[in-house]
Structures are given as C-alpha cells and as structure tokens.
Amino acid sequence: MSILYQTLDRLVAVSLPNRCYLCQQPLHQGQGLCETCCTDGQLGAVCLHCHKPLAQTPPHRCGHCLSRKRWRPVISAFDYHQPAGRCAALIKTQHQWGLIAPMVDRLQQRILFYHAQGVIGWPQALVSVPMHRRRLQQQGFNHAHLIAQALSQRLGVPHAFTLATKVKATRPQHRLSGRERRQNLCGAYGIEANSGMSQVALVDDIITTGTTLAMLAASLGKQGIAVSQYWTLASAIQRVSR
C-alpha cells in the first residue's frame, strides 16, 4: 500500500466518532453508524441485476432479469434513497472516514450471504474504481480504494489497487445522459498488462446507472480479465415495477 493510504489509515483510526452520524446515539469507538440506523437503511431483498424489490427469494433475480443470458450480480448493502445509504457519499464529499467500517461490515455480510447461497463465486482479486491523478491530488484520497482495502482485509481477497488506472480526466457523470456517460469514459482506463489476473470484482461507493463500472469492466475485458460482479456500499439504481 502507498504511503498516502497508510497515512489515511492512521487518520481514520484517530478520527473515528463516538456517536452515530445520523441519530447521535453514543457508540463504541470505530462505528460511525449505530445498528438501528444501519438496519433501517439496508437494501432488503432485491433482484441482483436491476435491484427491483422481490417479494421472496430465491430466486435472486426478478422474472425479467431471469431471461437475461448475460448479467453480473450487483451486491450493495444500502438503499441510497434512505438516510444511511446517503452516508456512502459523505465518505468522499465530507471525508467521513468513520462511516467506512460500519458500511463495509454490512456489505461484507451481504457478500458472505450470497456466497453461502451459491449465488456468487469468489473473485481472484478486488479492483477499486480508479481516480485520475489530478482529481486524486485535489481530493487527497480515493474513496473506492479505501472501501476495497477494508473489504480486502475482512474477506481475505487481495486488493489489486494498481491493476487499473484512470488515464483520462473526465467530466462529472451525474448530469450526463447514458450516451454522454459512455462517451465521457471512452478510453478513460488503462489496465496493467500481464497481471496474471483472470477474474475480479469491481468495488465502488455507489452505483447509479452502472456506466462507470461497465466501462471499467470492458477495459479489463480487453486484457482478458473478466469482471464477475460489482460490489458497492449503496445502490441508487431506480427500481421500477415492470
């Protein structure tokens, strides 16, 4: 791990809150959200492709997505439309690093649940969505990297943090259409050659349209590295009835 991220780990350790970020209830040090707020913000039973709510599981996909021949499981712990889910954005925007541990813990539980159910396999490594060097200099850290590192430590899956780099500065995605998002990210990622990797999971803070993850997956695929699943703290996918 780089000196930058070692320093960030130490800063996280000394800045952990003793109260829940949302309800202000006292906490044991190291937990930025209480159990109640975490539970209230959980995603619940959803289709693992489109995140449409499911009345019962298994199966873990809705009827529409069961007909898809090609799909990737999207494992998210929180509903971004709930207060706890929106905390995922605060890690990046407000440097609320104390939120990482409780949110990653819930994501870890969800990953282990689906793995035990035989729904997902185990990735060879984790790849966090990279940040362009200019943006990294401005922000000082890569939030996706911190999330992936925490998952790596809990799950024992290597974090291949040098495998993918962002080689092109891009515009913010949130105000762009689907086509504009794809054009914005075209050629944005560079992949390390001869890495020995064959199958990985991608890690990010929030999934909205999935374009960022899909474009990174396509870049990895060109180097013969398959992306088997996406892991994110929160899901902002618009779930509608069909």
| Distance, CA of 201 to CA of 79 (rounded, Å) | 20
> Which pLDDT score, from 0 to 100, does residue 231 have?
98
**End-to-end Cα separation, the chain, in angstroms:** 45
Which pLDDT tens digit goes with each residue over 83-102? 999 999 999 999 898 899 99
pLDDT in tens, 17-55: 578 999 988 886 556 899 999 999 999 999 999 999 999
Q: Any idea where the domains of the chain sit in the sequence?
A: 12-235
Instruction: Decide yes or no: CATH 3.40.50 for domain 12-235.
Output: yes
The whole-number pLDDT of residue 241 equals: 40
The per-residue pLDDT for range 116-134, each reduced to its tens digit, is: 999 999 999 999 999 999 9
Q: Helix, strand or coil for residue 28?
A: coil
What is the reported pLDDT for 187? 86
pLDDT digits (tens, 9 = 90+) for 47-57: 999 999 999 89
State pTM to two decimals.
0.89
Q: What is the pLDDT of residues 202-224, one digit of tens each?
A: 999 999 999 999 999 999 999 99
Task: Characterize the bridge pairing of strands 189-191 and 164-166.
Answer: antiparallel
Task: Say what the pLDDT of residue 179 is.
Answer: 81
Tokens found for residue 221: 């695929």
Q: How far apart are CA 120 and CA 114, in angstroms?
A: 6
196 phi-psi bin (left φ>0, alpha ψ -120 to 50, beta other): left
pLDDT surpassing 70 at residue 2: no
Predicted confidence band at 169 (pLDDT cuts at 50, 70, 90)? confident
Percent of the chain with pLDDT over 90: 70
Residue 228 burial (CB < 10 Å; 0-12/13-18/19+)? middle
| Distance between CA atoms of residues 93 and 90, nearest Å | 5
Phi, psi (5° rounding) for residue 104?
Answer: -65, -35
In whole angstroms, what is the distance from residue 65 CA to residue 192 CA? 33
